[in-house]
Chain A
């Protein structure tokens, strides 16, 4: 997609969000709402400025080559979100090594010894740092029921 087109879409999205935000901010009492309202007014003006600037040919001679590999990046983001969603239910100890292992394999790493060992070592190391050093309990998930 060309930058000018992306900018137009961005401008429209920001404009809609600014109007919506302004409507919400209007419901606040005067002192609390004034600053928020001015941010959204600024956002509105900026969205118009961005839209107009796309018409001025600012990106002539400098379109960057698109490097989005959408399939690859969607899977990476998908695995990451899945990790976050499952950490509470399955627990840090089980899900973290699985996440490290599966993402590294997906990214094409092949050395088997490292592939199996590093997720375990890193998971244990991070646990030591947070649990023993910082006293932060990490989510146990299903392990808590045992």
Chain B
């Protein structure tokens, strides 16, 4: 491990590597700070650009964008009370009141320091937990992988969908799209309708750009909100490093607690940065010496949410790199990025492409320190991007989506397919069907199918092989548990709502 890590550092600390990290983190912060541009969309839109790079550098760029974007959302959350990404919704609760009280500078500095602590702790977890986990995962055979894929699917539907039936419908759509093209084992063309472009299947990234960028843009443009840009509140008190240090010394347990919570939540497939920020905030309040100050513009509240959402970054990469299972939208997009580089995420990646994996993990760690510098001194510059009206930003994103999906294979067919998925995604939004399960199912579906068929080939068609051994049974029980949990919590929530009690904030 140490050898690979040292080798990776020579890639990361090359001129090109540093340039990409600075560019990626700054670009990520910009994307994150723009309301309407989520981290997922940002990474998806930029994947076509990484296509021409060497895999290690492409991943360094994508990782830097990821961490930057999750942090960037807090800037607009604090200054204009519009969370730049869903991950920063909880940051508005204390961040914006701080701005109103004239403490915007302090809020921004607490936000960047806590984000970096969350990011570094989770990056260290990623570095130290992934290699041994990958070693265990290497022992998995096709039957275990089949259940892992199913578990990923079931828990994602459970956690991401408001209504489990609709979540599964969305997943079924993704599974269907995943079967389009040549069948992986015997080569039958499935659902290609004679179209030669579909023989190699639907590019994951085409579906991703379509589902994550077009519906969001259409909805923003349709509502006409923010189309004239927003004026930004002036900041009053400027805080020195010494004062920030004194503040951190007082609230450091929150930094650590939220970072660890965020990392753990990140590891769980399905729970993303938005859930982490709420959990971090609620736990921060519960353990705080001054819970009554939460919501009034208290720096600890900002730290509790921000350390947690950046904690997710490294955590969410653990199942991605060790099992090939994407835990949330951004990691699904990152899998798309790995796939177009010809890399198959999973434990074998550690064995075969250790240099790439370690460069990626190292960049997540080092990128956080770059983010500290950029965020600490430049937060007030990044917020200027919210002045760009959506009537300009929207058309630009549409062009980038079309040109980007075209560029992957020089194929206008892909661009059209992307647009088709985009319109479908818009329709799904109107029908309250979450598109995340579809995206994750597109990745997990082929994984489930090829593994179950491989297992059955090995056993000459006897399905008993799927139920042999302890690991299989543990996975099966986890799947059953997540189904039970999904329908139970859905039922309970509806019941309480129907009784006229709308309940607290939905997490």
Contact = CB atoms under 8 A, between A and B. Distances in A.
Contact of A138 (B179, B403, B430, B497): B403
Contacts of B497: 60-62
Nearest to A34: B453
B218 A73 contact: yes
B391 A108 contact: yes
A16 interface: no
Given A6-B431, A39-B176, A80-B419, A137 B502 contact: no
B384 interface: no
A4 B502 CA distance: 19
B505 interface: no
A129 interface: yes
Contacts of A77: 218, 423
A21 B412 CA distance: 26
Interface stretch (B15-23, B186-194, B342-350): B186-194
Given A46-B165, A138-B403, A84 B191 contact: no
Interface stretch (B89-97, B222-230, B263-271): B222-230
A122 B388 CA distance: 14
Given A61-B497, A76-B218, A76-B221, A109 B391 contact: yes
B396 A122 contact: yes
B398 A80 contact: yes
Contact of A136 (B218, B392, B407): B407
Interface in A118-132: 118, 122, 126, 129-130
Contacts of B165: 46, 49-50, 53
Interface string B209-246: 00000000010011110010000000000000000000
Interface residues of A, number: 64
B500 interface: yes
Interface in A57-80: 57-58, 60-62, 67-69, 72-73, 76-77, 80
Contacts of B389: 109
B412 A88 contact: yes
Given A3-B432, A72-B222, A130-B403, A137 B169 contact: no
A7 B431 contact: yes
Interface SS, B side:
helix
B51 interface: yes
Given A7-B431, A62-B497, A36 B179 contact: yes
Nearest to B193: A24
B48 A134 contact: yes
B412 A87 contact: yes
A103 interface: yes
B176 A21 contact: yes
Interface of B: 48-49, 51-52, 163, 165-166, 168-169, 172, 175-176, 179, 183, 185-186, 188, 190-191, 218, 221-224, 227, 389-392, 394-396, 398-400, 402-403, 406-407, 410, 412, 415-416, 419, 423, 430-433, 445, 448-449, 452-453, 494, 497-498, 500, 502
Given A36-B176, A36-B191, A81-B419, 14 more contacts: A36-B179, A39-B445, A50-B169, A58-B163, A83-B398, A84-B416, A87-B412, A99-B398, A100-B395, A104-B395, A107-B391, A109-B392, A134-B48, A136-B410
